[in-house]
Amino acid sequence: MADSLAELRAKINAFVHERDWDQFHSPKNLAMAMIVEAAELVEHFQWDTLEESRELTPEKREQVSHELADTFVYLLRIAEVLELDLIAAANTKIALNAQKYPVNKAKGSNAKYTKYQENE
Amino acid sequence: MADSLAELRAKINAFVHERDWDQFHSPKNLAMAMIVEAAELVEHFQWDTLEESRELTPEKREQVSHELADTFVYLLRIAEVLELDLIAAANTKIALNAQKYPVNKAKGSNAKYTKYQENE
Amino acid sequence: MADSLAELRAKINAFVHERDWDQFHSPKNLAMAMIVEAAELVEHFQWDTLEESRELTPEKREQVSHELADTFVYLLRIAEVLELDLIAAANTKIALNAQKYPVNKAKGSNAKYTKYQENE
Amino acid sequence: MADSLAELRAKINAFVHERDWDQFHSPKNLAMAMIVEAAELVEHFQWDTLEESRELTPEKREQVSHELADTFVYLLRIAEVLELDLIAAANTKIALNAQKYPVNKAKGSNAKYTKYQENE
């Protein structure tokens, strides 16, 4: 069992190396594989109301868990082959988002940040 | 700075709560938001050859890093609202994948596992 | 102005040839480009309720129209480079769907067809 | 057999009405369904080289044809529920693209149009 992000990343790398799959794992291919998994998640919710999507049967919850895991695995692989630190990248992006979506303007609003700039 | 997955998750939750965005974060909406970010990643590679996708300019590398971060943030939010443990989900799924893709059959092959089953 | 599907297809082909873009239009690349456009459509609706997505402002309606057009253009290009007839393909697939989703079982239900088969 | 876009659209509408599925066909839900189909197309090409994606086995060609058809059907449904004319939308968008990608700048280049603007 991998207990941390670093251990999980190492485990996935080993899985890939054992199967000699590095040759297929260009960023282009991995980005395609990741969006396919993201779409399998979307499929679970496509006919749900917003409320229904919050209340999953145990069976659907398990399937959703698998799709999230698959998306996560490919995300980690892309970070790996591009030698990017996902945690650092997320910290950086959240700081940028905090500027784009200041609390006083964004609170309770689902508008895209470009809407605030139009109105300035 | 969040240094671990748990810290990052807490930081993102705080970001969302401050903006009163929990109301928009149904799994259905979050799955849509995540695939939009995954597509922004795909866009960076859509006209690249496989080789070109491995060699990014510093500018493109930074943009790709932002798209990965955005995808990661929404992945963490979906796990949060569904109360799923992403690391545990990944461990479970990797164990399933190891059964679907045994090393002796999958080595060096990019075929889908259903292909092995057809041939059994 | 192209007035029919055939004229539109010819117009798009001419657009691509003039720019010498056929070299980039492998099915793999075009499938990526199409999903990027489909995601731009998804983005317009990601925070909407189901009801809100039915009632668009004129500005949003125009943007949605552009995303649909872009998706359509890439769909036509993929059909072109693979020499597939989209209308014929749709006729064939609708006939298959009619078998998978018989009216007596599917009426008023949003379940996937595999659900009917489980219960047989 | 539907022979034209208008006939196909009418046929799909009848299919949906018979099953009482209009209730599920909000633009939000349909956009999700369409991207899921677009991703099933992407999946067929995710591990292919660009060259491999141009040369399909008859079996894969048929599967690809089904995914294109499914994407097309949802595209037509979205246009239907939003009362948009796809052919007109495509004509409009191609005219805009012709301005964004003038032949003298875009010829043989896979750069995004924003690149030309930067260099002006």
Neighbours of B3 (CB within 10 A): 10
pLDDT confidence tier of residue C119, bands split at 50, 70 and 90: low
Higher pLDDT pick, D112 / C1: D112
Mutation site, D29, D110, D115, interface B, largest B CB count within 10 A:
D110
Mutation site, B42, B60, B110, B113, interface D, largest D CB count within 10 A:
B110
Chain C partners of D15 at a C-beta cutoff of 8 Å? Answer: 94, 97-98
Alpha carbon of D74: minimum distance to chain C alpha carbons (Å): 11
d(CA A99, CA D13): 46
Contact D47 A39 (CB under 8 A): no
In chain D, the residue whose alpha carbon lies closest to the alpha carbon of C35 is D38
pLDDT of residue C106: 94
Write the burial class of residue A92 (CB in 10 Å: 0-12 exposed, 13-18 middle, 19+ buried). Answer: middle
Contact B42 C24 (CB under 8 A): no
Contact A29 D42 (CB under 8 A): no
Q: Does B120 score more than 60 pLDDT? A: no
CB-based contact A106:B19 (threshold 8 Å): yes
B55-71: per-residue pLDDT in tens?
Answer: 999 999 999 999 999 99
Helices (H) and strands (E) in chain A, counts: 7, 0
What does pLDDT average to over chain D?
94
Q: Does B118 score more than 70 pLDDT? A: no
Alpha carbon of D114: minimum distance to chain C alpha carbons (Å): 17
Q: How many CB pairs under 8 A join A and B?
A: 207
- Closest partner residue to D35 among B35, B49, B50, by Cβ? B35
| A2 in contact with chain C, both atoms CB, cutoff 8 A | no
Q: Does A74 score more than 70 pLDDT? A: yes
Q: What is the percent of chain D where pLDDT is above 70?
A: 97
CB-based contact D72:D45 (threshold 8 Å): no
CA nearest neighbour of D2 among C69, C97, C92: C92
Contact A98 B34 (CB under 8 A): no
d(CA B54, CA B47): 13
CB-based contact A73:A12 (threshold 8 Å): yes
pLDDT of residue A97: 96
d(CA C89, CA D62): 9
Chain A partners of D36 at a C-beta cutoff of 8 Å? Answer: 39-40, 42-43, 46
Work out the average pLDDT over C38-56.
97
Domains, chain B, ordered by start: 1-84 (1.10.287.1080), 86-120 (no CATH)
- Closest partner residue to B46 among C32, C43, C47, by Cβ? C32
pLDDT confidence tier of residue C120, bands split at 50, 70 and 90: low
| D31 in contact with chain C, both atoms CB, cutoff 8 A | yes
pLDDT of residue C112: 84
Chain D partners of B113 at a C-beta cutoff of 8 Å? Answer: none
B9-53: per-residue pLDDT in tens?
Answer: 999 999 999 999 999 999 999 999 999 999 999 999 999 999 999
Indicate the pTM of the whole model: 0.96
pLDDT of residue A111: 86
pLDDT confidence tier of residue D119, bands split at 50, 70 and 90: low
d(CA D84, CA D117): 31
In chain C, the residue whose alpha carbon lies closest to the alpha carbon of D35 is C38
Least confident of A13-17, C2-6, D80-84: C2-6
pLDDT of residue D114: 79
Q: Does B76 score more than 90 pLDDT? A: yes
In chain D, the residue whose alpha carbon lies closest to the alpha carbon of B46 is D110
C71-103: per-residue pLDDT in tens?
Answer: 999 999 999 999 999 999 999 999 999 999 999
The CB-based long-range contact list for A9-14 (8 Å cut-off, 24+ gap) reads: A9/A76, A9/A79, A9/A80, A11/B91, A11/B94, A12/A73, A12/A76, A12/A77, A12/A80, A12/B90, A12/B94, A13/A80
In chain D, the residue whose alpha carbon lies closest to the alpha carbon of B110 is D47
pLDDT of residue A1: 76
Please spell the DSSP secondary structure of B55-110, one letter per residue. S--HHHHHHHHHHHHHHHHHHHHHHHHTT--HHHHHHHHHHHHHHHS-HHHHTT--
Amino acid, res. A100? K
Length of chain C: 120
Length of chain B: 120
CA nearest neighbour of B19 among A91, A104, A113: A104
D29-68: per-residue pLDDT in tens?
Answer: 999 999 999 999 999 999 999 999 999 999 999 999 999 9
> Residues 46 to 75 of B: which have CB under 8 A from any A CB?
48-54, 56, 61, 64-66, 68-73, 75
- Closest partner residue to D15 among C26, C35, C94, by Cβ? C94
Q: Does D25 score more than 70 pLDDT? A: yes
Q: Does B113 score more than 90 pLDDT? A: no
Q: Does A2 score more than 60 pLDDT? A: yes
Q: Does C40 score more than 60 pLDDT? A: yes
- Closest partner residue to A49 among C28, C47, C50, by Cβ? C50
CB-based contact C56:C63 (threshold 8 Å): no
pLDDT of residue D120: 53
Q: Which helix (H) or strand (E) holds B8?
A: helix B5-18
pLDDT of residue A120: 53
The Cα-based distances of D97 to A1, C93, D93 in angstroms read 51, 31, 6
